[in-house]
Amino acid sequence: MKDKRNEVLARLLVEYSTQLKKGDVLYLELKGKDTLELGKHIIRLATERGATPFWFYNDDSIARQWLLGAGAEQMKVQAELHMGLMKRADAYIGVRGSDNAFDLSDVGRERMAQYNKLFYQPVHLVRRVKKTRWVVLRYPTNSMAQLAQTSQEAFEEYYFDVCCADYAKMSKAQDKLKALMERTDKIRIKSPGTDLTFSIKGMPAVKCDGRRNIPDGEVYTAPVRGSVNGTLRYNAPSLYEGTVFTGITFTFKDGRIVKSTADSHADKLEKILNTDEGARYVGEFAIGCNPFVLKPMMDTLFDEKIAGSFHFTPGQCYESAPNGNDSAIHWDLVQMQRPEHGGGEMWFDGRLVRKDGVFADSKLEKMLSKENLKSSGL
């Protein structure tokens, strides 16, 4: 059964997400030994379509050994090596399934900031994101099941339902939300601990419908850089660089984070925000709408897609929704607005568009329902 589901998922990644064709070069990064079976399916299907895959095995436990000792020059050389491969690639698939989500917890913040600046930002945030057809996903490891607080067997069932949703139908449903966002100027968000205003006037909205992330299910844009004012309290925990942050609250003035607090690791939070000037400004605003994802599990690729949520991201903006913010970080932090998480309201130009996680437009809500988006392939 799992082999069949890996086949379905691999086909989704190769045929739909990256649209591989004859003559393409695929850069496949496999992170963790549990990803190898899916990787074999991807390599076979890519080759059958006439593409040439390059595969690279990685793991946070391996990366940790290097990060603890590497200096700036070594990071630059590593970036040069990977940049050469990324420049050669037409498409990139990143399958992430490390055994231990906390493998990087004892790598210092200064070293991680250096790594992000010298390696991750140029190779991935700039080259890969802007110049390739890319998709990234997690793979259901036992470690991931533990974060979701369930058995591995139950988590696998959940995982494949979520990841293999009918993304063609999701894409059609998102057209309506995209159009609404692109004709909006002022947004106000209210919820416990939150009263936030900002503008998205003139910013493009981008559908996330299985082309970039698996699972997918969000429509994103960016706030006008200096327009953000008020207070925002995130209620989903965030696992970032091996540290779990809870209860993060930001106060904004003219776009900049002028005050930050957290229920845990407030000192580390400040260090992250001091990475560079752009880390204190927001590069992305996105509305989550995957009905199969309903609770946080400290995995960004899942949590940011939670139906009834939004994320408001300190750091680098996307070229597809540019607000001019540049940073070595891009940290997707999530607030959930369904009743079990405290509820909340989202207003566009003075009109209520979502209350307690449910869209006021009943047609849009139905189009984004589980019943409509259930995959027939599994």
pLDDT tens-digit map of 157-192: 888 888 888 999 999 999 999 999 999 999 999 999
Closest CA to 200 of 362, 346, 329: 346
Mean pLDDT, the chain, whole residue set: 93
Same-domain pairing of 243 and 339: yes
d(CA 120, CA 213): 18
* Residue 127 lies in domain: 2-163
Domain boundary among 129, 163, 197: 163
What is the reported pLDDT for 376? Answer: 59
Same-domain pairing of 28 and 95: yes
Residue 378 inside a domain? The answer is no
Domain boundary among 163, 190, 206: 163
Residue 100 CB-density burial (10 A; 0-12 exposed, 13-18 middle, 19+ buried)? middle
pLDDT tens-digit map of 184-239: 999 999 999 999 999 999 999 999 998 888 999 999 999 999 999 999 999 999 99
What is the reported pLDDT for 377? Answer: 59
What is the reported pLDDT for 1? Answer: 60
Q: How confident is the model at residue 155 (pLDDT cuts 50, 70, 90)?
A: confident
d(CA 187, CA 115): 35
- Counting the structural domains of the chain, the total is 2
pLDDT tens-digit map of 296-315: 988 888 999 999 999 999 99
Question: Would you tell me how many other CB atoms lie within 10 Å of the CB of residue 3?
Answer: 9
For residues 26 and 91, the answer to whether their CB atoms sit within 8 Å is: yes
- Please state which of the ranges 14-18, 148-152, 293-297 shows the lowest mean pLDDT: 148-152
pTM over 0.75: yes
The sign one gets for the Cα dihedral 44, 127, 305, 57 is positive
What is the reported pLDDT for 245? Answer: 96
Same-domain pairing of 96 and 194: no
Q: How confident is the model at residue 103 (pLDDT cuts 50, 70, 90)?
A: confident
Same-domain pairing of 209 and 130: no
Same-domain pairing of 290 and 247: yes
Containing 81, the helix (H) or strand (E) segment is: helix 72-88
Same-domain pairing of 257 and 204: yes
